[in-house]
Structure 1
Amino acid sequence: MRLGYFLLFLLLISCGPGYKNKAFEKLSSADKIKFEKYFIQGRDLYKTNCLSCHQKNGQGLKKLIPPLAGSDYLKNNQAKAAQLIMDGAWETIRVNGVDYKPTMPAHKHLTALEVAEILTYINNSWGNEYGLVDGNKAAEYLKRF
């Protein structure tokens, strides 16, 4: 019986979560724990608040809703991305060379921590490797706008 538990333990360790990437590997042990928590919470928040427009695969909706997967805008504009999650989007943005005029609703019910969790999830899903955004950093981003 002990051998069975040991083998199960080894299997779980070897499989690991699917979001481990270069950004994750560079983190301290404490930040890796935070990353995992944020990623899981962010995935749930994404499903509730973002999935219907940005889709399960992060590809968005053709020319109506910009993609999050492989998004140069997301990679280069983390503060603005936090603000768009909180306040919505009404102006034209350029993502991967394509102009979008989204009408993204505001999510004022979210806290800065929840915005950080969503950003951590989308930053590290669908091939993105943009790293952890902690709650303090998200709060700092949101104060800029």
Structure 2
Amino acid sequence: MKKLACTVLFIALAGCASQHKTDSQIYQEANAFYVTQLPAGQNSVSLPSVKIPSHGLLADNLAIAAGGDANVTPLRNALSAARAAGDKGFLIIGSQNGALDVAVIRNAVDSQDLSGMTILYSGDLGKSDAIRSAVEKANGEFQFIR
């Protein structure tokens, strides 16, 4: 029984120690992917981005209940500014909570016209279909970045 408990504890601690990508690494990977999607001859690349902040389990759950709360407005404004500037790509770096990402993104893109834009999302793979649906409802193209 002790061996089983030690094994479970070891596996849990090993998972906690696994390395996650930094925001910079995510941005570089998204930018590299986005460049491959550009039309031939386009020399300049602009990939604005927003990171959805996580404030812990309780605060995130309260924000989810409030539809994304204060995180919606900065993302909505950044998407509008990017569209107005003629940017065709936009990166959203998700929080540690995929449900929060869905609430924030769904409400931020609601009633926006994202046609001609590619929204790249790096976050919870399990929530990517819900985010894809919200982005496509706003006429945007969706790409998941690992």
Tell me whether the two structures share a fold, i.e. TM-score over 0.5: no
Q: Name whichever structure is richer in strand by fraction.
A: 2
Structure possessing the higher radius of gyration over alpha carbons: 2
TM-score (norm 1): 0.28
TM-score (norm 2): 0.28
